[in-house]
Structure 1
Amino acid sequence: METMYRLNVGGPEIQPDQDPDLWRSWEMDSHYMITENAGIGIKNTSNITYASVNDTSVAPLLVYETARAMSNTEVLDKRFNMSWKFEVDPDFDYLVRLHFCELVYDKANERIFKIYINNRTAADNVDVYVQAGGKNKAYHVDYFDAMSSSIDTLWVQLGPDAGAGAAGTDALLNGLEIFKLSRNGNLAYVDKHDSVGNAASKSKVLWVGIGAGLASIAVIAVIVVLVFCFCRSWQNKSSDTKNNSPGWRPLFLVGATVNSTMAAKGSSGSQKAYGSVVSTRAGKHFTLAEIIAATKNFDESLVIGVGGFGKVYKGEIDGGVLAAIKRANPQSEQGLAEFETEIEMLSKLRHRHLVSLIGFCEEKNEMILVYEYMSNGTLRSHLFGSDLPPLTWKQRLEVCIGAARGLHYLHTGAERGIIHRDVKTTNILLDEKFVAKMADFGLSKDGPALDHTHVSTAVKGSFGYLDPEYFRRQQLTEKSDVYSFGVVLFEVVCARAVINPTLPKDQINLAEWAMRWQRQRSLETIIDPHLRGNYCPESLSKFGEIAEKCLADDGKSRPTMGEVLWHLEYVLQLHEAWLNRDSIVTSFSSTSSQDLRGAKDGGLELVHETSSQDEENE
Structure 2
Amino acid sequence: MKTLVLLLVGLLSMFLQSKLIQGKTFLINCGSNATADADGRKWAGDSIPGDNFTLSSTGIVASTSSINAEPIFGSLYKTARFFNTSSSYNFGVVSGDYCIRLHFFPIKFENYDTNASAFDVSANDLKLLYKFNVSEEISWKSLRNNSVVTSVVKEYFLSVNLSELQIEFVPNVGSFAFVNAVEIIPLPENIFNGSINKVGGDGLKVPLSLSDQGIETMYRLNVGGPALKSNVDQFLYRPWESDESFMFSVNAATTIFNTSNISYVSSNDSSIAPVEVYESARIMSNNEVVEKKFNVSWRFYVDPNFDYLVRLHFCELIYDKSSQRIFKIYINNKTAAENYDVVLRAGGMNKAYHEDYVDAVSQQIDSLWLQLGPDSLTTASGTDALLNGLEIFKLSKNGNLAYVSERIDHNGEASSSKKPKRKALWEAVGAGIASIISIAIFSTLFFYHVRGKRESDVKDVPPGWHPLILHETTKSTTNARSSKPSLTNSASRIGRRFTLAEIKAATKNFDESLVIGTGGFGNVFKGVIDEGNTVAIKRAHPLSEQGLKEFETEIEMLSKLRHRHLVSMIGYCEEQREMILVYEFMANGTLRSHLYGSGLPPLTWKQRVDICIGAARGLHYLHTGADRGIIHRDVKTSNILLDENFVAKMSDFGLSKDGPALEHTHVSTAVKGSFGYLDPEYFRRQQLTQKSDVYSFGVVLFEVVCARPVINPSLPKDQINLAEWALRWQRQRSLETVVDPRLEGDYSSESLKKFGEIAEKCLADEGKNRPTMGEVLWHLEYVLQLHEAYKQSVDSESFGSTELGFADLSFSLPYIREGEEEICRH
Maintained 8 Å contact 1:479/1:560: yes
Q: For residue 175 of structure 1, what is the amino acid of its counterpart?
A: F
Question: In structure 1, what is the Cα distance between the partners aligned to 2:686 and 2:595?
Answer: 31
* 1:68 CA drift (Å): 3.7
Matched ranges for 1:44-83 at <5 A: 45-46=184-185, 57=194, 67-68=217-218
Pair 1:550 & 2:762 matched: yes
Counterpart in the other structure of 1:528 = 740
SS in 2 for 1:374: coil
Q: Which residue of 1 aligns with 2:438?
A: none
2:242 aligned to 105, 109, 112, which one? 112
Structure 2: distance between partners of 1:279 and 1:519 = 52
| Compared CA separation, residues 444 and 54, structure 1 to 2 (3 A) | closer
Q: Distance in 2 between matches of 1:472 and 1:378?
A: 30
Give the one of 576, 579, 583 matched to 2:791: 579
Cα distance change on mapping 1:542 and 1:48 into 2, 3 Å: farther
Query: 2:524–2:536: 8 Å Cα contact kept in structure 1?
Result: yes
1:250-269 matches, cutoff 5 A? none
Contact 1:482 1:561 in 2 (8 A): yes
Matched, 1:351 2:563: yes
SS at match of 1:421: coil
Measure the CA separation in 2 of the matches of 1:122 and 1:331. Answer: 43
Cα deviation for residue 513 of structure 1 reads 0.5
Give 1:344-383 correspondences, 5 Å limit: 344-383=556-595
Which of 493, 505, 524 matches 1:312? 524
Q: Kindly indicate whether the alpha-carbon contact (under 8 Å) linking 1:114 and 1:125 is maintained by their aligned counterparts in 2.
A: no
Asked whether the 8 Å contact 1:41–1:67 carries over to 2, the reply is: no
Contact 1:406 1:438 in 2 (8 A): yes
695, 705, 726: which one aligns with 1:483? 695
CA distance in 2, matches of 1:493, 1:280: 41
Q: How does 1:134-283 map to 2 (within 5 A)?
A: 140-141=312-313, 143-145=329-331, 147=333, 155-156=367-368, 173-175=391-393, 280-283=492-495
Structure 2: runs of 5 or more not aligned? 1-94, 99-124, 142-151, 156-182, 197-207, 222-226, 258-272, 281-309, 315-328, 336-361, 371-388, 396-440, 445-471, 484-489, 800-826
Task: Name 1:463's counterpart in structure 2.
Answer: 675
User: How far apart, CA to CA, are the structure 1 residues paired with 2:193 and 2:540?
Assistant: 47
The 3 A distance-change label for structure 1 pair 154 and 512 is closer
For residue 310 of structure 1, report the CA deviation from its aligned partner. Answer: 1.7
Provide the C-alpha distance between the structure 2 equivalents of 1:146 and 1:381, rounded to a whole number of angstroms. 43
**1:462 to partner: Cα distance:** 0.7
In the alignment, what sits opposite 2:84? none
Residues 286, 145 of structure 1: CA spacing in aligned structure 2 closer, same or farther, 3 A cutoff?
A: closer
- SS of 1:282's partner is coil
Deviations 1:460-501 (A, max 9, x none): 111111111111111111111111100000000000000111
Query: Structure 2 CA distance, aligned partners of 1:544 and 1:282?
Result: 40
Identity %: 61
Of 140, 154, 162 in structure 2, the residue corresponding to residue 42 of structure 1 is 154
Q: Aligned AA for 2:627?
A: E
Q: Is the 8 A contact 2:495 2:570 kept in 1?
A: yes
Distance 1:527 1:343, change over 3 A: same
**Structure-2 residue corresponding to 1:514:** 726
The one-letter amino acid of 1:317's match is: I
Q: TM-score, normalising length from structure 1?
A: 0.61
Residue identity matched to 2:277: Q
Q: Distance in 2 between matches of 1:124 and 1:409?
A: 50
Indicate conservation of the 8 Å contact 1:330/1:336, yes or no: no
Residues 1:131 and 2:277 aligned together: yes
Report deviation, 1:365: 2.1
Change (3 A) 1:364 1:372: same
Question: Which whole-Å CA distance do the structure 2 matches of 1:125 and 1:406 have between them?
Answer: 51
- Residue 705 of structure 2 corresponds to which residue in structure 1? 493
Secondary structure in 2 aligned to 1:458?
coil
2:552 to 329, 340, 357: 340
| 1:303 maps to 2:478 | no
Residue-by-residue CA offset, 1:63-106 (whole Å, 9 max, x unaligned): 99953469xxxxxxxxxxx9xxxxxxxxxxxxxxxxxx967363
Output the amino acid matched with 2:217.
Answer: A
Cα deviation code 1:117-168 (max 9, x no counterpart): 999999787998742569xxx963493158499x99683269xxxxxxxxxx
SS of residue paired to 1:353? coil
Residue aligning to 1:606: none
Aligned match of 1:327 in 535, 539, 542?
Answer: 539
Q: Distance in 1 between matches of 2:251 and 2:539?
A: 44
> Match of 1:514, as an amino acid?
A
Kept in 1, the 8 Å contact 2:219–2:393? The answer is: no
**Residues 120 and 320 of structure 1, relative CA distance in 2, 3 Å threshold:** farther
Larger radius of gyration: 1
Q: For structure 1, list consecutive stretches of 5 or more residues without a partner in the other structure.
A: 1-16, 71-81, 83-100, 159-170, 178-219, 225-250, 257-277, 588-618
Higher normalized helix content (fraction of residues): 1
Q: In the TM superposition, what is the alpha-carbon distance from 1:319 to its structure 2 partner?
A: 0.9
Larger relative contact order (CA 8 Å, sep ≥ 6): 1
Q: Does the Cα contact within 8 Å between 1:55 and 1:140 map onto a contact in 2?
A: no
Q: Residue 788 of structure 2 aligns to a residue in which SS?
A: helix
Once the two structures are superposed, what CA deviation does each residue of 1:229-249 show, in whole Å capped at 9, x if it has no partner? xxxxxxxxxxxxxxxxxxxxx
In the alignment, the residues of structure 2 paired with residue 563 and residue 515 of structure 1 have an alpha-carbon distance, to the nearest angstrom, of 20
Q: Hey, what's the Cα distance between the residues in 1 that align with 2:215 and 2:689?
A: 40
Give distance in 2, aligned partners of 1:510 and 1:438. 22
Q: Is the alpha carbon distance of 1:445 and 1:279 closer, same or farther for their aligned partners in structure 2, counting shifts above 3 Å?
A: farther
Report the Cα distance in structure 1 between the residues aligned to 2:533 and 2:255, rounded to whole angstroms.
62
CA distance in 1, matches of 2:218, 2:542: 30
CA RMSD, 1 decimal: 4.7
Cα pair distance change 1:122/1:296, threshold 3 Å: farther
2:685 is equivalent to residue 473 of structure 1: yes
Give the one of 402, 426, 445 matched to 2:638. Answer: 426
| Residue 408, structure 1, aligned to residue 620, structure 2 | yes
Give the distance between the partners of 1:64 and 1:121, measured in 2 at CA: 37
Q: Distance in 2 between matches of 1:467 and 1:428?
A: 18
What amino acid is the match of 2:523?
K
Q: Which amino acid aligns with 1:67?
A: T
Q: Is the 8 A contact 1:115 1:124 kept in 2?
A: no
Deviation track 1:435-478 (CA, whole Å, cap 9, x = no partner) reads 00000111111111111111111111111111111111111111
Residue 285 of structure 1, CA deviation? 2.2
Q: Is the 8 A contact 2:615 2:640 kept in 1?
A: yes
In 1: Cα distance, 2:127 partner to 2:245 partner: 21
Which shifted more, 516-525 or 285-294? 285-294
1:416 CA displacement: 0.9
* 8 Å Cα contact 2:229/2:239 also seen in 1: no
TM-score when normalising by structure 2: 0.46
Determine the C-alpha separation between the residues in 2 that align with 1:126 and 1:419.
46
> Against the structure 1 CA distance between its residues 426 and 172, is the aligned structure 2 distance closer, same or farther, given a 3 Å change threshold?
farther
Q: 1:146 to 1:522 in 2, by over 3 A?
A: closer
8 Å Cα contact 2:217/2:394 also seen in 1: no
